DNA sequence: AGGATTTTTTGAACAGAGAAACCAGACGTC
DNA sequence: GACGTCTGGTTTCTCTGTTCAAAAAATCCT
């Protein structure tokens, strides 16, 4: 009864051919002012808007970007997604969400679906990708950008912060603060971010002749981070500082230290994290951390994607943005320390 | 050079017609075992998967659900989105994200884009919608569900918690706790959630012969909530309890009370919120609040949408799920109080 | 075996647009 | 006035699948 209005309806009403209508809605096509006027008028009257899906069938571009993401619990991701989505929206693209667990096979399944939708590009946030999959996307001409993860394969674009240097800065800061028993709570060891942060951190310690006093692996899980903190800090010679691989886990650890073990932060233990999510700045945590410049990272991700879409020959880029150390009060500040 | 593989390629390789291939991938179509086998084999060999977009052109169903959302800063939304997205994914749908500001005209603009993508349904999370728009979607046969907002128009489906009762429970709880000067920090007054929560709260106070001792409006903004808290609590006769229209603002208020004004929570001031986001349970805040059952809300939203898609004649539903009062320690607990 | 019935298969039409090829006038030039 | 060149419009083809009427094949029944 109320069939959607198509270009043909508009054409008839405006008394022109259907392709004239098409050209009016294609920027850069040559149309006389008069026709454009007539068409636009008829279109408005009928409430016509071109069908993006039909268009994408012929142009081969859907203006859809697939976003693969594993979980939104860590505040860093919603913040990033909001930015990514807004940037893409400004350029006429939209984000199609695919939730994936971290398990490898499910990632594959998700990838297949992604391709079914003919997405123009893929942003993989915090998800590992099998090389095989990557290759298939490249073969299909679909650019991929890893967000907050890098991979050895340098045919893959990625955007991260400079995790190695970030980790190193934290180590230098803790060492300068006179800490002697420095621990690390790792996230998921399969993640490049984890490896780089830890590598930088350990290197920083090593430069001062120190090594990790303790180490636990939480897979970025909040509850597991708590369990590890309980064990790590129940011995008499507990660490005097701990670097948590992201802010999210640092909060968990601070909660355990303060509310379960009755330790003072930073007097008894200094805690540092990584990300600088919004919550890190709130006075309840006031977390010393390395900022991942989410805004710049989102911008860079979108730029890479757009460049690749404009010219498929564009070389893949691997961006590692510098992130500043944000001094707050969850960790002792060395005297006379200047950023 | 590496043109994507289409149904025709598969058909040729399998030695059947293109429609045979189509039927193999359409559940419930009549195909002989032998052909199905041949086709599936050829499809696997070539790595063929049907193009969802092309399919949606003829079937009129895109298996895309548009999600309109204003901001992700309030943790409630990422939590909800993750659930919505996973449920939809289970049923073979995916979420296309549209970020909208709260301004009315932009919502319209976004709506237009939404329709361009031929979405099968729309979830509007925390966004108001002009009646005109709503009508157009209904006319186009696209079901809409408001998530965490309701609207007077009862041709519109909506899913919320029972905000009125939630507000009322909070008032009764605070009254029972012996509070005498109860304040409210409102979110955005255009939001039904805000109005209902406040109405219930005020009614609860009234039942005990009390009225609001103070009131401020923050538009759900974190910083504005802080400003309001500073003013509200700098007088000598500051309120002894405050109900913040959501948890997000309650955190802001608690931070100001504790860290700027040096007030103790709950000894000097009881603070209660609404949502029960994850952070509310963390010991740093330990916020007494009304739980919005995000899981059930997401489930209900998806159910309504699916029912409407299965049978367009389904009546719109307005679901208001009951949310329990979650007792924690940001508010004084009345003696002998049982939930 | 021959005809009736059922099941499969196929070719053509269709969905809603963009793009290339093509064509009708307007204009300029010699 | 014939020819070439623009400009703006139209025709036709295309994209990738689904669907339907009709044809073909398989099955059943006497």
B211 min Cα distance to partner chain A (Å): 32
Chain A partners of B86 at a C-beta cutoff of 8 Å? 99
**A173 and A258 part of one domain:** yes
Q: Of the residues A292, A309, A330, which one is the last residue of a structural domain?
A: A292
Per-residue pLDDT band at B315 (split at 50, 70, 90): very high
Q: Which single residue has its CA nearest the C1' atom of nucleotide C12? A: B19
Residue A277 scores a pLDDT above 90: yes
**A273 and A202 part of one domain:** yes
Mean pLDDT for chain A?
Answer: 92
**Considering the domain boundaries, does residue B55 fall inside one?**
no
**A157 and A299 part of one domain:** yes
Sheet holding A241-244, edge to edge: A214-217, A182-186, A241-244, A270-275, A288-291, A325-326
Bases along strand C below 7 A from a protein CB = 7-12, 14-20
**B167 and B283 part of one domain:** yes
Express each pLDDT in B121-138 by its tens digit: 999 997 767 677 777 787
**B51, B52, B82 member nearest A71 (Cβ):** B82
**Considering the domain boundaries, does residue A330 fall inside one?**
no
* Residue B20 contacts strand C, CB under 7 A: yes
Residue A181 scores a pLDDT above 60: yes
Q: What is the CATH number of the domain that holds A247?
A: 3.40.50.2300
The CB density around residue B67, as the number of other CB atoms within 10 Å, is: 27
**Considering the domain boundaries, does residue A28 fall inside one?**
yes
If one compares A172 and A150, the residue with the highest pLDDT of the two is A172
pLDDT score of B303: 97
**B248 and B128 part of one domain:** no
**A107 and A46 part of one domain:** no
Per-residue pLDDT band at A1 (split at 50, 70, 90): very low
Please name the residue of chain B whose CA is at the shortest distance from the CA of residue A252. B282
Chain B partners of A230 at a C-beta cutoff of 8 Å? none
Express each pLDDT in B218-229 by its tens digit: 999 999 999 999
Across the A:B interface, residue pairs with CB atoms under 8 Å apart total: 130
pLDDT score of A2: 59
**A104 and A34 part of one domain:** no
**Considering the domain boundaries, does residue A169 fall inside one?**
yes
pLDDT score of B240: 96
**B143 and B174 part of one domain:** no
Burial class (CB in 10 A: 0-12, 13-18, 19+), B84: buried
**A62, A113, A259 member nearest B283 (Cβ):** A259
pLDDT score of B1: 45
The CB density around residue A286, as the number of other CB atoms within 10 Å, is: 17
Global pTM value: 0.92
Residue B338 scores a pLDDT above 80: no
Give the domain extent around B36: 7-50
The CB density around residue B239, as the number of other CB atoms within 10 Å, is: 21
**Considering the domain boundaries, does residue B218 fall inside one?**
yes
A96 min Cα distance to partner chain B (Å): 4
Per-residue pLDDT band at A323 (split at 50, 70, 90): very high
Express each pLDDT in B38-97 by its tens digit: 999 999 999 899 999 999 999 999 999 999 998 899 999 999 999 999 999 999 999 999
A285 in helix, strand or coil?
Answer: coil
Distance CA A111, CA A133 (A): 7
Bases along strand D below 7 A from a protein CB = 7-12, 14-20
Residues 270-289 of B with CB under 8 A from A: 278-279, 282-285
Q: Does A229 touch chain B (CB under 8 A)?
A: no
**A204 and A272 part of one domain:** yes
* Residue A7 contacts strand C, CB under 7 A: yes
Name which of A64, A72, A142 to mutate to probe chain B: the one with the most chain B Cβ atoms within 10 A of its Cβ: A72
Express each pLDDT in A104-156 by its tens digit: 667 778 888 899 999 999 999 977 676 777 777 877 889 999 999 988 888 88
**Considering the domain boundaries, does residue A228 fall inside one?**
yes
Judge whether A258 and A285 are in contact, CB under 8 Å: no
If one compares B135 and B293, the residue with the highest pLDDT of the two is B293
**Considering the domain boundaries, does residue B207 fall inside one?**
yes
Q: Return the structure tokens found at A11.
A: 């054409």
**A97, A140, A279 member nearest B95 (Cβ):** A97
Helices (H) and strands (E) in chain A, counts: 12, 12
If one compares A2 and A25, the residue with the highest pLDDT of the two is A25
Q: How many domains does chain B have?
A: 3
A55 min Cα distance to partner chain B (Å): 10
**Considering the domain boundaries, does residue B337 fall inside one?**
no
Residue B103 scores a pLDDT above 70: no
- Is B2 in Cβ contact with A115 (below 8 Å)? no
Percent residues over pLDDT 70 in chain B: 97
pLDDT score of A14: 87
The CB density around residue B12, as the number of other CB atoms within 10 Å, is: 14
- The C-alpha R_g of chain A, in whole angstroms, comes to 25
Residues 107-126 of B with CB under 8 A from A: 112-113, 115-118
Distance in Å from D18's C1' to B67's CA comes to 28
pLDDT score of A134: 77
Sheet holding B214-217, edge to edge: B214-217, B182-186, B241-244, B270-275, B288-291, B325-326
**A280 and A204 part of one domain:** yes
Residues 61-100 of A with CB under 8 A from B: 62, 64, 67, 71-73, 75, 77-79, 81-82, 85-86, 89, 94-99
Nearest to A244 by CA among A234, A236, A235, A233: A233
Nearest to A159 by CA among A324, A325, A323, A317: A317
**A288 and A298 part of one domain:** no
pLDDT score of B31: 85
**A172 and A246 part of one domain:** yes
């Amino acid at each position: 009864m109320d069939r959607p209005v198509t270009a043909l309806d508009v054409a008839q009403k405006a008394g022109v051919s259907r392709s004239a209508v098409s050209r009016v809605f294609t920027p850069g096509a040559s149309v006389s002012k008069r026709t454009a006027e007539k068409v636009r008028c008829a279109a408005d009257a009928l409430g016509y808007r071109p069908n993006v899906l039909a268009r994408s069938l012929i142009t081969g571009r859907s203006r859809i970007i697939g976003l693969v993401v594993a979980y939104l619990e860590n505040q860093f991701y919603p913040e990033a997604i909001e930015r990514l989505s807004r940037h893409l929206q400004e350029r006429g693209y939209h984000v199609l969400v695919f939730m994936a667990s971290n398990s490898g096979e499910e990632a594959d399944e998700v990838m297949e679906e992604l391709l079914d939708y003919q997405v123009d590009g893929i942003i993989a946030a915090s998800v590992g990708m099998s090389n095989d999959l990557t290759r298939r996307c490249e073969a299909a001409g679909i650019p991929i950008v890893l967000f907050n993860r890098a991979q050895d394969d340098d045919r893959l674009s990625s955007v991260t912060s400079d995790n190695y240097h970030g980790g190193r800065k934290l180590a230098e800061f803790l060492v300068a603060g006179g800490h002697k028993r420095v621990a690390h709570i790792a996230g998921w060891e399969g993640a490049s971010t984890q490896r780089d942060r830890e590598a930088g951190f350990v290197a920083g310690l090593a430069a001062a002749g120190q090594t990790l006093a303790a180490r636990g692996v939480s897979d970025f899980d909040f509850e597991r981070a708590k369990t590890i903190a309980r064990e790590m800090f129940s011995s008499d010679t507990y660490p005097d500082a701990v670097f948590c691989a992201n802010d999210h886990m640092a909060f968990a650890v601070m909660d355990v230290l303060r509310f379960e073990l009755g330790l003072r932060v930073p007097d008894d233990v200094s805690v540092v994290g990584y990300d600088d999510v919004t919550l890190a700045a709130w006075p309840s945590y006031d977390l010393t951390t390395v900022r991942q410049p989410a805004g710049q990272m989102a911008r860079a991700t979108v730029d890479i994607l757009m460049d690749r879409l404009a010219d498929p020959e564009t070389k893949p880029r691997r961006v590692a943005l510098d992130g500043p150390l944000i001094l707050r009060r969850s960790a002792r500040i060395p005297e006379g320390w200047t950023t």
